[in-house]
């Protein structure tokens, strides 16, 4: 590890050493604090220890660069003089927070400690200074609690257990006969401090550290350490955040929202993070500190209430909201604290939002001239568009449920959409249930960062406490999950795994339905119907004028089409799929698999006859029966695609996939064909392969049984000429799979071209067509120059190319791939995102060599990767002409292709 030059960046008094664009070094939080300081917003002074120090820490056995201690000391001095207070001095004590913050936001995944610098002496001094002993002991007990949890590791031991400190608080509250933390008085708080310290001593064997400097270094180490806690690791996996990024540590002087009724704390978004509406969206609590709002311990008040309760502060906050939106030109997520009627900003970052909010905000901000249409496109994560296609509850069905008295309660509409599932009451259960195939609604009093994996497994998330900025809501929106938060009518009992609501008891495993668009919670299942976008595009049951969501979607797609260079095709082999994909914007079919057609009505019989035939004649006779059926299929597809190119792949899978494997089915087939069971059994056995993926399949089939290719070519060309005869343009492109040697292609190409000539002659017509190949084995890519001399086009079959490049079979990878991913042997699943260094390198070679032989060789991709944003970006960069993906991913590919064209390099 190289030496770290500068470890610490100060901010305060209107100037900062860092800037907003230094997220990589200062973390999102550190950069945001620096930027807000520089634009003169009220930010308490502090300093940020850079992520370089984190990297050093982990590559040097958890030690720090030598210069760090002195830099921290110096920076602390600056804070002391800015705040006119001294760390550890009871006369005018400085208290600080020690905060985590990585380059990407990881809400609540890492640790933060507040009120650090507190000890018995400092507490007494602070009481003298403020005359507010309740505030002092409340701050003190919070500090001991957080320090005990984060630095000393006192956590719940079991999933049904509550936090050990919370347990002590609960006991205290019931002993005093009160419900809220705020009802505990100064003596109670003081008592809690003592009890907490005792619990720490008992569980860890160590005394709580009284020396502030010792506390500070303990906290810094714990925050760096929290980069590698279990939930942070899980979160990084989920969002592909590289381990090497590390976290920064920000040390900041405290401001106190818990000094009484003129103090408070809040979290807000500059626009509605769920719907995108341009309104101030957030919550606050008076006489509260830190995580109180997010943790859902008390249900906070909507920010609009602040306008009535404290118009002066509200006005100031609202003007900061506008300053920030103008400055960042985006929707921001902010944290603030009011200390005795004075407002402080504690955090700002780009706000996470649902897909609905993302498209609305992007479109609105273009309208407001804050951003350009190009920028708008970069504001939406392509994968998020899936949310717009998800089902919504059918209004009629919901009315029926409501009339039947099944409406249980209403909470906050924190994450739009419809979700139905069985109730589970903790995150580990959600994981277990999901793994056994159940759909679950994770139902919690409130969620915490520990729950992240379980939340990811759930169809929807329901909480009894917390607002629209609570942890549950925040994470749900980020994950694109349906979420109803703060549904206070629910009385959840973790111990018995039940909840009481409206006089009824809901047990674990019972079905409920939650509507994240309205906040309604309903008993039982409620039927859904397609999303508004699908109602407009696919069902054609909704007038586009009546759907705002559709109109925004359409605008984004139009902008995307304006800037993208890649063409977008789809993988479809049925006319209805083809029609849907056109509605989604597909410009052609990149892969029409013909084998699916053999399974259709009336086709599997002749197909089996063909496979079981002993002689060429018998095989031809069977193929003759298939020909008209296949021709009809192609006609349907050509018609649906209406002049757009259609790439049809000749038969690809090993033949035994078409044959019945069980005895009863084989006997039935024998009877149908009038041959003996024994013969069928032998033939099926004879077709057995040790490794079918590498066996008689792809072009090898067409070479060994040329009459199959011949029949398929005939079906395609006859269909083309028939459809063309009806005045519809056709552009067939015949694609030969699994070619590794140019001679394989020549063999098949010759047949295809001969049949094309024959059909033109017979039908006395002319049509244009292409013959190309899939590049899906390494030798195909490596000899692409030779192959390009024969092929009119290439299409990368990246599913097989990944299998053959890695030498692994996707169907058997389940045994080890999860382990590989879990343990970072593979950073990503190569079947999801193109492995750019290996498979991608072969693709690059294929493109270069291919175009060396044929300058404007058309090249595309038709593997699953064609609809995955990072792979689309890669395809753009290596100069492909098009990507082809499944119909429902076409919008994603369109947006990803535009983003690729607009950005020079991926982040």
Q: What is the CA radius of gyration of the chain?
A: 32
Nearer residue to Mg ion within complex by CB, 298 or 714: 298
Q: Establish whether 471 is a catalytic residue.
A: yes
Could you say which of 699, 862, 875, 885 is catalytic? 862
For residues 231 and 297, the answer to whether their CB atoms sit within 8 Å is: no
Distance CA 42, CA 522 (A): 45
* Residue 797 interacting partner from Mg ion, ligand ADP, none (CB closer than 5 to 8 Å by kind): Mg ion
**Surface-to-core class of residue 237, CB atoms within 10 Å of its CB (0-12 exposed, 13-18 middle, 19+ buried):** middle
**Surface-to-core class of residue 3, CB atoms within 10 Å of its CB (0-12 exposed, 13-18 middle, 19+ buried):** exposed
Nearer residue to ligand ADP within complex by CB, 290 or 737: 290
Minimum Å distance from CB 110 to Mg ion? 10
Q: Does 800 bind Mg ion (CB under 5 A)?
A: yes
By CB under 5 A, the count of residues binding Mg ion is 4
Nearer residue to ligand ADP within complex by CB, 252 or 463: 252
Residue number closest to Mg ion, CB atom: 800
Best CA proximity match to 691, nearest among 737, 740, 654, 652: 654
Q: Establish whether 54 is a catalytic residue.
A: no
Tell me the window of 59-67, 476-484, 795-803, 857-865 that interacts with Mg ion (CB under 5 A): 795-803
Nearer residue to ligand ADP within complex by CB, 479 or 759: 479
Nearer residue to ligand ADP within complex by CB, 100 or 133: 100
* Residue 587 interacting partner from Mg ion, ligand ADP, none (CB closer than 5 to 8 Å by kind): none
Minimum Å distance from CB 363 to Mg ion? 28
DSSP-assigned letters across all residues of 142-166: HHHHHHHHHTT----SSTTSPPHHH
Tell me the window of 76-84, 341-349, 681-689, 760-768 that interacts with Mg ion (CB under 5 A): 341-349
* Residue 50 interacting partner from Mg ion, ligand ADP, none (CB closer than 5 to 8 Å by kind): none
Minimum Å distance from CB 294 to Mg ion? 8
Tell me the window of 124-132, 182-190, 413-421, 799-807 that interacts with Mg ion (CB under 5 A): 799-807
* Residue 114 interacting partner from ligand ADP, Mg ion, none (CB closer than 5 to 8 Å by kind): ligand ADP
Tell me the window of 179-187, 217-225, 310-318, 345-353 that interacts with Mg ion (CB under 5 A): 345-353
For residues 59 and 44, the answer to whether their CB atoms sit within 8 Å is: no
Minimum Å distance from CB 54 to ligand ADP? 15
* Residue 337 interacting partner from Mg ion, ligand ADP, none (CB closer than 5 to 8 Å by kind): ligand ADP
Q: Quick count: other Cβ atoms within 10 Å of Cβ 151?
A: 25
Q: Does 347 bind Mg ion (CB under 5 A)?
A: yes
Residues pairing with 882 in the sheet: 567, 860
Q: Does 748 bind Mg ion (CB under 5 A)?
A: no
Could you say which of 7, 471, 487, 497 is catalytic? 471
172-186 core/surface letters (b: 16 or more CB in 10 A; e: else): bbeeeeeeebbebee
H or E element: which one contains 472? helix 471-479
Nearer residue to Mg ion within complex by CB, 481 or 697: 697
Q: Rule CB under 5 A: which of 855-884 touch Mg ion?
A: none
Tell me the window of 195-203, 272-280, 285-293, 344-352 that interacts with Mg ion (CB under 5 A): 344-352
* Residue 366 interacting partner from Mg ion, ligand ADP, none (CB closer than 5 to 8 Å by kind): none
Nearer residue to ligand ADP within complex by CB, 10 or 581: 10
Q: Does 836 bind Mg ion (CB under 5 A)?
A: no
- DSSP-derived letter for residue 480 is T
Minimum Å distance from CB 99 to ligand ADP? 3
Distances in whole angstroms, Cα of residue 47 to Cα of each of 30, 31, 75, 102, 333: 8, 11, 6, 15, 21
Nearer residue to ligand ADP within complex by CB, 97 or 666: 97
Minimum Å distance from CB 346 to ligand ADP? 4
CA–centroid distance for 697 within its chain: 36
- DSSP-derived letter for residue 3 is P
Contacting residues for 250 by C-beta, under 8 A, at least 6 apart: 26, 27, 29, 30, 33, 46, 47, 48, 49, 97, 98, 99, 101
Minimum Å distance from CB 93 to ligand ADP? 14
The residues of the shown chain that bind ligand ADP, judged by CB under 6 A, are: 44, 97, 99, 108, 112, 114, 252, 254-255, 290-291, 335, 337, 346-347
Distance CA 755, CA 716 (A): 10
Minimum Å distance from CB 863 to Mg ion? 8
Nearer residue to Mg ion within complex by CB, 105 or 443: 105
Distance CA 469, CA 461 (A): 14
* Residue 515 interacting partner from ligand ADP, Mg ion, none (CB closer than 5 to 8 Å by kind): none
* Residue 181 interacting partner from Mg ion, ligand ADP, none (CB closer than 5 to 8 Å by kind): none
Nearer residue to ligand ADP within complex by CB, 347 or 886: 347
* Residue 800 interacting partner from ligand ADP, Mg ion, none (CB closer than 5 to 8 Å by kind): Mg ion
* Residue 290 interacting partner from Mg ion, ligand ADP, none (CB closer than 5 to 8 Å by kind): ligand ADP
Distances in whole angstroms, Cα of residue 841 to Cα of each of 781, 829, 836: 10, 17, 6
Distance CA 685, CA 347 (A): 68
Rounded (5°) CA angle 478-480-485: 80
Q: Does 30 bind Mg ion (CB under 5 A)?
A: no
Distance CA 407, CA 145 (A): 39
Q: Does 797 bind Mg ion (CB under 5 A)?
A: yes
If you count them, how many residues does the chain have?
907
Distances in whole angstroms, Cα of residue 151 to Cα of each of 85, 99, 208, 393: 25, 13, 10, 46
**Share of the chain residues as helix, strand and coil, in percent rounded to the nearest 5:** 50, 15, 35
- Angular region, 380: left φ>0, alpha ψ -120 to 50, beta rest: beta
Active-site residues, by number, are 471, 862
List residues near Mg ion by CB under 5 A. 347, 776, 797, 800
């Amino acid at each position: 590890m190289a030496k770290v030059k500068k470890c610490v960046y100060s901010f305060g008094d209107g100037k900062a050493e860092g800037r907003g664009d230094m997220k990589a070094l200062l973390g999102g939080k550190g950069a945001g604090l620096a930027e807000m300081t520089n634009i003169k917003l009220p930010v308490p002074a502090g300093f940020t220890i850079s992520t370089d120090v984190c990297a050093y820490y982990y590559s040097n056995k958890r030690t720090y660069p030598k210069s760090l201690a002195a830099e921290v000391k110096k920076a602390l001095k600056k804070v002391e003089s800015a705040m006119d207070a001294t760390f550890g001095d009871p006369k005018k004590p400085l208290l600080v927070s020690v905060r985590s913050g990585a380059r990407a936001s990881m809400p609540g995944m890492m640790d933060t400690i507040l009120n650090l610098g507190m000890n018995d002496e400092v507490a007494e001094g602070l009481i003298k200074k403020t005359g507010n002993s309740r505030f002092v002991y409340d701050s003190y007990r919070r500090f001991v609690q957080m320090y005990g949890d984060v630095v000393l590791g006192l956590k719940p031991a079991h999933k049904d257990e509550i936090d050990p400190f919370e347990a002590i608080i609960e006991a205290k509250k019931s002993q005093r006969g009160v419900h809220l933390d705020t009802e505990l008085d100064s003596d109670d708080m003081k008592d809690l401090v003592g009890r907490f310290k005792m619990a720490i001593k008992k569980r860890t064997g160590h005394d709580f550290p009284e020396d502030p400097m010792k506390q500070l270094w303990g906290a810094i180490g714990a925050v760096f350490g929290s980069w590698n806690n279990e939930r942070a690791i899980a979160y990084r996996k989920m969002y592909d955040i590289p381990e090497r990024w590390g976290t920064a540590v920000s040390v900041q002087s405290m401001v106190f929202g818990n000094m009484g009724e003129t103090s408070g704390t809040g979290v807000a978004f500059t626009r509605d993070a769920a719907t995108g509406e341009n309104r101030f969206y957030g919550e606050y609590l008076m006489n509260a500190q830190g995580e109180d709002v997010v943790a859902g311990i008390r249900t906070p008040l909507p920010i609009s209430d602040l306008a009535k309760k404290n118009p002066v502060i509200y006005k100031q906050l609202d003007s900061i909201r506008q300053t920030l939106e103008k400055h960042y030109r985006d929707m921001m997520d902010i944290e603030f604290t009011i200390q005795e009627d004075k407002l402080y900003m504690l955090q700002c970052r780009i706000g996470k939002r649902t897909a609905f909010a993302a498209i609305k905000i992007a479109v609105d901000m273009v309208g407001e001239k804050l951003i350009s249409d190009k920028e708008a496109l970069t504001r939406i994560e392509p994968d998020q568009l899936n949310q717009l296609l998800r089902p919504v509850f059918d209004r009629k069905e919901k009315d029926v449920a409501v009339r039947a008295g099944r409406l249980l309660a209403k909470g906050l509409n924190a994450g739009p959409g419809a979700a139905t599932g069985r109730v589970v009451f903790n995150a580990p259960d959600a994981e277990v249930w999901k793994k056994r195939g159940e759909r679950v609604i994770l139902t919690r009093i409130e969620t915490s960062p520990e729950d992240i994996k379980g939340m990811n497994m759930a169809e929807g998330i329901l909480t009894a406490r917390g607002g629209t900025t609570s942890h549950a809501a925040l994470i749900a929106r980020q994950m694109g999950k349906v979420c109803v938060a703060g549904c206070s009518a629910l009385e959840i009992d973790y111990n018995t795994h039940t909840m009481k609501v409206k006089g009824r008891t809901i047990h674990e495993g019972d079905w409920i339905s939650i509507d994240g668009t309205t906040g309604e919670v309903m008993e039982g299942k409620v039927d859904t119907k397609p999303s508004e976008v699908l109602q407009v595009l696919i069902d054609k049951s909704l007038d586009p004028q009546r759907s705002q969501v559709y109109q925004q979607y359409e605008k984004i797609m139009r902008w995307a089409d304006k800037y993208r260079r890649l063409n977008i095709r789809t993988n479809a082999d049925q006319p209805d799929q083809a029609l849907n994909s056109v509605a989604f914007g597909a410009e052609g079919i990149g892969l029409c698999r013909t084998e699916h057609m053999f399974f259709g009505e009336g086709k599997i019989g002749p197909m089996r006859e063909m496979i079981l035939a002993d002689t060429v004649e018998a095989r031809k006779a069977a193929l003759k029966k298939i020909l008209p059926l296949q021709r009809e299929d192609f006609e349907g597809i050509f018609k649906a695609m209406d002049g757009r190119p259609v790439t049809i792949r000749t038969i690809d899978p090993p033949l035994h996939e078409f044959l019945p494997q069980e005895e009863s089915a084989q006997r039935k087939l024998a009877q149908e064909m009038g041959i003996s069971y024994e013969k069928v059994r032998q033939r099926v056995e004879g077709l057995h392969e040790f490794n079918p993926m590498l066996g008689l399949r792809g072009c090898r089939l067409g070479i060994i049984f040329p009459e199959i290719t011949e029949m398929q070519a005939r079906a395609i060309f006859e269909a083309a000429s028939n459809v063309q005869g009806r005045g519809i343009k056709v552009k067939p492109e015949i694609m030969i799979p699994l070619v590794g040697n140019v001679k394989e292609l020549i063999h098949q190409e010759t047949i295809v071209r001969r049949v094309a000539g024959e059909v033109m002659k017979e039908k006395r017509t002319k049509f244009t067509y292409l013959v190309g190949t899939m590049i899906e084995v390494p030798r195909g890519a490596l000899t692409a120059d030779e192959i390009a001399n024969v092929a009119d086009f290439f299409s990368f079959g990246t599913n097989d190319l990944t299998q053959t490049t890695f030498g692994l079979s996707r169907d058997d990878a389940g045994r080890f791939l999860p382990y590989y991913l879990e343990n970072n042997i593979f950073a990503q699943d190569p079947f999801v995102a193109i492995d750019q260094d290996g498979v991608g390198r072969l693709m690059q070679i294929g493109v270069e060599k291919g175009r060396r032989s044929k300058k404007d060789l058309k090249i595309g991709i038709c593997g699953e990767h064609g609809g995955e944003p990072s792979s689309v970006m890669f395809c753009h960069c290596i100069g492909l002409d098009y990507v082809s993906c499944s119909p429902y991913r076409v919008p994603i590919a369109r947006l990803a292709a535009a983003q690729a064209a607009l950005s020079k390099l991926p982040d």
